[in-house]
Chains A and B, each alone.
Chain A
Amino acid sequence: MARLATDVGGTFTDLVSYDEVSGEVKIAKTLTTQEDQSIGVMDSIHQACTMEGLDPSAVEFFVHGGTTVINAITERKGVKTALVTTEGFRDVLEIARGNRPDLYNLRTRTPAPFVPRHLRFEIPERMDWQGNVLTPLDEEKLVAIAESCRRLDVKAIAIVFLHSYVNPDHENRCVEVLSELLPDVTVSPSNRISRQWREFERSNTTVLNAYVQPIIRQYFANLSNSLAKENINCTYYAMQSNGGVATFDQATDVPLSLVESGPSGGVAGAVRIGRELGADDLLYFDVGGTTAKCSLIKSGQPKLNPEYKLEWSRRSPGYPVQIPVVDIVEIGSGGGSIAWLDDDNGLHVGPSSAGAMPGPACYKRGGTEPTVTDAKLVLGILDPDSFAKGQMTLDVDAAKQAFEKMAARLNISITEAAAAVVQIAEADMINALKLISVQRGHDPRDLDLVASGGAGPMLAASIGRELSVKSTVIPIYPGIFSAWGMLAAMPRVDLQRTHFESMSPDTMERLKSIFATLITEAVEYFSCGSKDKLDLVYQVDVRYHGQEHSVLTRIDLDWDLGTFLNAFHEAHETAYSFKIDDASVEITNVHLQAQLHTSVVSIAPVSREGRSFERASKGRREVYFSEDGGWHDCDILDRDFLPVGELRDGPALIEEATTTTLVLPGQKFEMTGTGLLKISEK
């Protein structure tokens, strides 16, 4: 039996399969086919079958991560979508929150809504905040709205009524009526996607979900057909943004949950690596060509971002969505990021990137701007001849030339300029890692750092040192880690309810009953018959009376109120450096995280035979270390032949097919029994 994952990225589609019996791993890589990503996925499966001997009929777990959803949104290629909402509020979607983060730009504006004004329809109906009906739903008026939608060729309708998170009856009735009148149109009510308050955020979530739903339905239908034809007949799973997987059918109901599918695969992989290390608390760090992504894993669970926004930037409020997305801080600093000087000789790295085309200057494909990859080559960290399994030769002179202008303007040497660029890229990444750790109350000295991506392992040791982490770990398959991570993800659903109450003696009883309802829903969602099949995590958003933002507090249902309060005070102090012991406390939101018990990918022990430092040795190279300002003669080792459990001192370069790991002077490293590379300070 085998587990199979395919991860569609911007340029390549990665495939990883793992044979549960033999421990054998098969890898394939094909070009991504943007128009219909399922073609590239099938290409990768064909490649794995013909080149690697994959047996499709042995596949018992298939998981897929793709960018169909995010691409449809980014490129504005979703379907024509209408919105039906409470009378008086059709402009809520357009007004958004009205904020101007671009403070001093007198020409700024709110991003355009995904449904234009003439496709936003109002209907008489109204609930109060406790869910009591103030105005009944005017079903007659729905007939006219359906007629307009038909005439305007609308393909999907989002329904959002005020306070539907408390009482969804009107929304659900509206779905019944519209679905009957418009059988070919996708109709999605907000309560199926989010049961949280804040009407703009919920509207935007529902609209974006409707906007991509017909597309993802078609996509999964195509992919399922193709997989069945290839004799892959297990349940098909999609990687969700919450770090877990869902069946294609479940994902089609809430396609927006796939929005960060790929990055979330990496986070799931980091959780799995953490378990292997016996470390529950981790920093995860992935550096690709254009960005670096950082996440925190606490108590073996990825942290979710309660305020996830699409297309957000410091200058744009973006599009907030209320779906569970792992908390990923992304910065525009990766291997292909371009280094540049401002008018005042200030040195910056990114956010513009040379990407895959033209790529860094050393690729010799027409790029002339200096990038982080060029700097790594100049400093001796990259080998010009063995890049990408030797399929490509890097041009050191072209890389040096790219730094000439910068070095001249700063009156420093080319080497120093390259070293400066690497240090600044690292500093940006350190700020991002601090943002998700120190600044949220977690001390990096208690964390291990897991680094992946083509450029991550080159930067990891130095960043780990700066943050004083316990150890820096380079997982297996760092270059295709998202795909590998998907093999480690479990079926998962996050059920949230806005529930507003001041803490009182009956609070625990009430919470128990709310969670009981959510557990029933989770059991239904997985069709698993009983909650015994589920791993459940109970969390509650709690705050001091008068505050707006709350602290997510993990609880046990058999706690008494005092224990609950103590846990909250402690969580508040961790996050914000103070607590107010005698202040009154209230609950705003209840969150059940449910994972279905399944076996996850195991990590096979590496064979101890045929491994030694002598066998691994590939010679030596001069590498520039900016910390002590000089060139060091440095061992080059092949990761595939490193001996197990033997410590060795840095500096060293450890090469493998998809990346190079740099170990600094003053550090030591070893290969663990399951093939992880572990670096720590001497």
Chain B
Amino acid sequence: MSQHQQSRLVDDLDVVTAEIISGKLLALVDEMAIIMAKTSMSPVIYEVLDFACGICTSQGELVAQSNGITLFTGTFGSQVAAVAKQYEGDIAPGDIFITNDPFNGGTHSCDMAVIRPIFHGDRIIAYAITVAHWLDVGGAVPGSLPTNANSCFQEGLSLSLIRIGRNGELLPDMVRIIEQNVRLPDMAIGDLMAQLATTRVAENGVRETLDKYGLEAVENVFTHIITSGEKKSRAVITDLPDGEYFATEVIDGDGIVDTAIPVQVKITIRNDEMIADFTGSAPAAAGPINCGYTALSSAVRTVFKALVGPQEPSNEGWFRPLKIVVPDGTVFSANKPSPTGWYYEGSVHASELVWKALANLKKDRFSAGSYTSLSVLYITGKDKNGNLFVHIEPQHGGWGASADADGANALIALTDGDTYNYSIELLEAKFPLRVKKYCLNTEGGAGAGRQRGGFGLIREYEILSDDAEIYCSLSRNTTPPWGVENGREGSCNFVEVENAKNGAVSRLHRVPHWDIKNRDRVRVITGGGGGWGDPKERKTEDVMRDILDDLINPEQAVDQYGVALDNDDAFQTDK
């Protein structure tokens, strides 16, 4: 602090130091993300960037996070807090922890958190954390996520709050447990190495900042970052009208049965606080679309951040005005041993409930309903050398329109984020698969409206293996995305399998196992988003452009928008 004694303090901290240290922390989490993506072994991480990195205070409050997956970033605090509590008084410099426990701060068994305490002298000053989706952690099926699991014990190795390293080195016994319990040990250990490198980078960076600015300054900046987020967040909530806002939704089946699962929320806004109360939502389901409280909290926080400050760096402070209420044992607050493998296909509905309840309250922050489901398809089997391959791919889909713009085409679902699709050329070189088609899903359509929804897509594979299977669990397979202000509903997600021998086509959405033979075709078809406003109010030129671009046909123009094409190729409207 001695360098800046002359400038007076703001929040007990001079502005220059505050801004410089904040900037360093943000640069540091970016660097963590680069290291993670570039060194990971698993295609889910490096190609679709299914991971996130962050730095928390000694109390487990998030200070800085990388861009990544929305769903993970809401869990950093609870994962760190769970480890800190388990090992209270028993954490030494050089310790490394690993955890994947959905009932103890985590999400599901495949999402592996690596946590490294950062010491200043003999005191913990911060934690570095990175959460990444491991391709396989053992369990009933390759990829570890049986869509019809009926308990968490089928979902692979549980590493609940485990110390995996001391003195900066991995403990060989622990590594062996992992190696012996997963199907692709090289990949798992490779990812573990990448996560270690990532957290080591964070540790070095925080230490360097501590050496330069001192403990007091760094801790003050932590506090400053968090209270500053809190202030901004409360200001937004204060500006919203007090009241109660409701939404209901259904989850289309749990993986075991197709029955609709009703869920609901009551949002209460009072002064500078917001309560999201999920009382009345269905009890935990038999199948794996349940989530634990941490995943619920993360799902709600995602939409809350979209409301209060979508483009500002995230930290714990933003969420202090938010309170989440849920009775124990619901589909959003499941307990061990409920299965949670496909939790994100359930928890996303908690996000959507909050979103739907608030959409009309702050139009410049929300859009109509989106295709919702990550629409992940697993294709596993033997390649021509008899080696196991596991291809997991989320699919992008249509987003809802907003008050002043059409919805986005083919964008990744809310639960992910800076998540890429898989290059076809790369994929064909790596797996016994051939992509036959990758295009916008114009047949399925998008929700009509003054502003229409965005289009989903069709991805069609030909499978080049005689010994393969697929499994998947897609939400919104029956209930389409919602429109706003008379905007129409969007369309649903599903998978089609076309049998090469007899041409039979089967339509699937949640299926634990489907045999695939050589040359069978598998199509993932994602839905279009909901519309916003009355379709009859859509500008004629926008309808014409959609016809020109082959997004809608002239019949749809008449039926949905009341815009007709006359014989001279000019357009008429019956408005």
Contact = CB atoms under 8 A, between A and B. Distances in A.
Interface of A: 88-92, 94-95, 97-110, 116-118, 128-129, 162-163, 165, 197-200, 314-315, 343-348, 410-412, 416, 419-420, 423-424, 427-428, 431, 434-435, 439, 500, 544-549, 575-578, 580, 583, 626-627, 629
Contacts of B197: 576-578
A578 B39 contact: yes
B15 A103 contact: no
Contact of A100 (B3, B24, B411): B411
B551 interface: yes
A98 B421 contact: yes
B215 interface: no
B437 interface: yes
A410 B418 CA distance: 37
A419 B4 CA distance: 10
Interface string B79-99: 000000000000000000000
20 contacts: A91-B457, A95-B440, A98-B421, A106-B414, A108-B408, A129-B425, A198-B426, A410-B8, A420-B15, A424-B23, A427-B19, A427-B20, A427-B24, A431-B27, A545-B186, A546-B190, A549-B38, A577-B197, A577-B200, A578-B197
Contacts of A629: 3-6
Contacts of B196: 578
8 nearest CB pairs, A to B: A548-B46, A98-B396, A109-B408, A546-B41, A117-B549, A88-B437, A104-B310, A549-B38
A110 B18 contact: no
B312 to A, nearest CB: 9
B47 interface: yes
B355 A420 contact: no
A154 to B, nearest CB: 15
Nearest to A439: B31
A348 B15 CA distance: 10
A117 B550 contact: yes
A435 B39 contact: no
Given A99-B420, A109-B408, A576-B35, A89 B3 contact: no
B415 to A, nearest CB: 11
B367 interface: yes
Given A107-B365, A110-B411, A629-B3, A89 B420 contact: no
Given A94-B410, A345-B15, A580-B190, 12 more contacts: A98-B410, A99-B412, A99-B417, A106-B303, A106-B306, A107-B364, A314-B67, A346-B15, A410-B15, A439-B31, A439-B34, A547-B46
Interface in B402-423: 402, 405, 408-412, 414, 416-421, 423
A345 B421 CA distance: 40
A577 to B, nearest CB: 5
B513 interface: no
Contacts of A129: 425, 428-429
Given A101-B418, A104-B305, A104-B310, A117 B551 contact: yes
B424 interface: yes
A129 B430 CA distance: 9
Contact of B421 (A90, A97, A197): A97
B496 to A, nearest CB: 15
A438 to B, nearest CB: 9
A199 B423 contact: yes
Contacts of B364: 107
Given A97-B420, A198-B425, A420-B7, A546 B186 contact: yes
Interface in B333-384: 355, 364-367
A129 B408 CA distance: 31
Nearest to B208: A438
Contacts of A580: 190, 193
A165 B425 contact: yes
Nearest to A576: B39
B405 A103 contact: no
B270 interface: no
Nearest to A422: B16
A327 B196 CA distance: 27
Given A95-B409, A100-B418, A117-B551, A431 B67 contact: no
Contacts of A547: 38-41, 46, 190
Given A99-B49, A577-B197, A577-B201, A546 B438 contact: no
Interface size class of B (residues with CB under 8 A): 35 or more
Interface of B: 3-8, 10, 14-16, 18-20, 22-24, 27, 30-31, 34-35, 37-43, 46-47, 49, 67-68, 70, 186-187, 190, 193, 196-197, 200-201, 228, 231-232, 235, 302-303, 305-306, 309-311, 314, 355, 364-367, 396, 399, 402, 405, 408-412, 414, 416-421, 423-426, 428-429, 434-440, 454, 457, 460, 548-551
Contacts of B20: 423-424, 427
B42 A546 contact: yes
A435 B205 CA distance: 12
B18 A346 contact: yes
A545 to B, nearest CB: 8
A427 B21 CA distance: 9
B67 A162 contact: no
Nearest to B365: A106
A91 B438 contact: yes
A220 B5 CA distance: 58
Given A99-B420, A107-B366, A110-B410, A546 B187 contact: yes
A410 B5 CA distance: 14
Given A95-B410, A549-B38, A89 B439 contact: yes
A88 B551 contact: no
A655 B59 CA distance: 52
A578 B550 CA distance: 51
A568 to B, nearest CB: 14
Contacts of B311: 102, 104-105, 315
Nearest to B370: A106
A626 B460 CA distance: 62
Contacts of B47: 548
Nearest to B40: A547
Contacts of B399: 106, 109
A500 B429 contact: yes
A545 B8 CA distance: 55
A547 B193 CA distance: 12
A103 B27 CA distance: 18
Given A99-B412, A548-B43, A578-B193, A431 B428 contact: no
Nearest to A315: B311
B24 A420 contact: no
Nearest to B6: A629
Contacts of A107: 364-367, 402, 405
A197 B20 CA distance: 40
Contacts of A110: 408-411
Contacts of B7: 410, 412, 416, 419-420
B331 to A, nearest CB: 23
Nearest to A627: B3
Contacts of A627: 3
Nearest to A420: B16
Given A424-B16, A547-B46, A95 B67 contact: no
Nearest to B454: A109
Nearest to B407: A109
Nearest to A97: B420
B10 A98 contact: no
A431 B420 contact: no
A128 B428 contact: yes
A105 B303 CA distance: 9
A43 B311 CA distance: 45
Given A95-B421, A100-B412, A576 B38 contact: yes
Contacts of A412: 7-8
Contacts of B303: 106
Contacts of B548: 118
Contacts of A106: 303, 306, 310, 355, 365-367, 399, 402, 414
Contact of B19 (A348, A411, A434): A348
A85 to B, nearest CB: 11
